[in-house]
Structure formats: C-alpha cells, structure tokens
Amino acid sequence: MPVTIRTLKKRKQEGAKFSVLTAYDATFSRLISEAGVEAMLIGDSLGNVIQGQPSTVPVTLAQMVYHTECVARGNQGSLVIADVPFMGAATLERILEAATALMQAGANVIKLEGGAWLCEAVTVLARNGIPVCVHMGLTPQSVNAFGGYLVQGKDDTSAKALLDDAIALDRAGTALFVLECVPRGLSGEITAAVAAPVIGIGAAPECDGQVLVLHDMLGLNPRPARFVKDFMADTGDIGAAIQAYDRAVKDGSFPAEQHCF
C-alpha cells in the first residue's frame, strides 16, 4: 500500500520511526522507494547537489516541478514531498500557485520554510486538500539572513519562539514538520508537543522520522555536515547503503549522539 500522511501519523502514535531521503530523478526514486523508505523529499537542495549552486536560493519553481515529475514517475509507493522554492512563500497567492504546480506534478505534500506566519497558508492549503510540511530551525532559503548555516534555538528566547511557532502551526493543520539544526533537547520537546509527525535533520533521535540528503548519505559530499553519516562506507553498494540507512533510522542507531547538537 502507498505511504500516506495517515501512515506517518500512525507510526508516530505507535512510537515507530520512519525514514526519509531526498530524491531528484526517477532512477533513485525507484531505488529509494523499493528499499522501504517511507517518504522522499524533492528538496531545493538540488541547487547544491545537482546544479552546483552555493545555496538553494537560485532554484526556480519550474525546476522543482520538473524534478517532482521525474521522482513521481519512478516512485513505487513512498510519500512524495516537494519544496516550495525561494520566495515561493512570499504571499498567499504565490504559495497557492506553487502548491498547485507541485501537486499537479505528482507531489503528495508540499514543504514551506518558515514559522507561525505560515498558519493562514497552512489552513487554506489544508482546506483545499494540500497537506503541508513546515520546515523550521535552520531554513536554508534564509541562509543570507542567518549569516550562515547556523544552529537555531540555542538560547531560551529563540527556543521558546520555535516551540510556540510549532504549536501554533500544528493547531493550524500542519501535516508534517522538518526540524533542521535544532538542539536535541528542544527537538525532542517540539516532537512531544505537536500531533503532526516531526522529521529531524541535525536534530534529535527523539524525532518521529529522519531525513538526509541522498548525496550526503552516500558519502559524496567532500565537506559533510556534523549530522551526516556516510552509509556507503560500510556497504560499498548504493542499494545496500539506502537499506542500511532505513534500518538505522528505524532501529534508533541513527542519529547517534555525535550527529546531534
């Protein structure tokens, strides 16, 4: 049976972990979904790993639509999540335009970067049958505002703001959360406070699921982030590495302490 939002919510309720990987084409989409990974994210990280850009900012909606179509064609039952790219969430009108294009390209869920100011958009999209994943913490589209790829929520004030935003967004109808580069204690607190499943990356093993960029997980990044583990190093095979990642997330061995902040 295809994985749905209900599948992930049930796993959260049962205390069972789930895995997520980025995907950008039909071939890897097939490999990832056949390995049992519950969800695939067509991330605007394609700007970095596919296009060679220094950030996700140059990625366009047309490019996101193209890669979503590719992933959808190869998918064997995973949930497909697609990023709304830079400035796509600037207004409600632009969000609706981007969400329509991505859903029609084959996405099951659209992902927005931001905080509680997205509550209205989440409610409107949910009312129109579009589940929303909200990406919080280190949001790569805001790297220029942050002044770099920095851990978020380290002090009491910013931590409370992240928690309050997550609770407000959960009440507005957010279907999923992604927490990136958020301290372990705060990530666990947010995960426990919201009904929606929470996906961590550089966050906490207590999150309901975990996501990595495919190319990072395969050891192809010469300067990997602290939260990355190279699953190719022990397997030497792409398919086996994807399966090893999926097992490690589900048995709780990844992320380990060294992958957290």
Contacts of 169 (CB under 8 A, 6+ apart): 115, 116, 118, 119, 122, 134, 177, 194
Q: How far apart are CA 5 and CA 221, in angstroms?
A: 31
Q: What is the CA radius of gyration of the chain?
A: 17
Q: How far apart are CA 53 and CA 252, in angstroms?
A: 33
Q: How far apart are CA 45 and CA 250, in angstroms?
A: 24
Q: Is 206 tagged catalytic?
A: no
**Can you point out the beta strands (E) in the chain?**
18-22, 39-42, 79-83, 109-113, 132-137, 176-180, 198-201, 209-212
Residue of 180, 189, 206, 257 marked active site: 180
Query: Which residues are known catalytic residues?
Result: 180
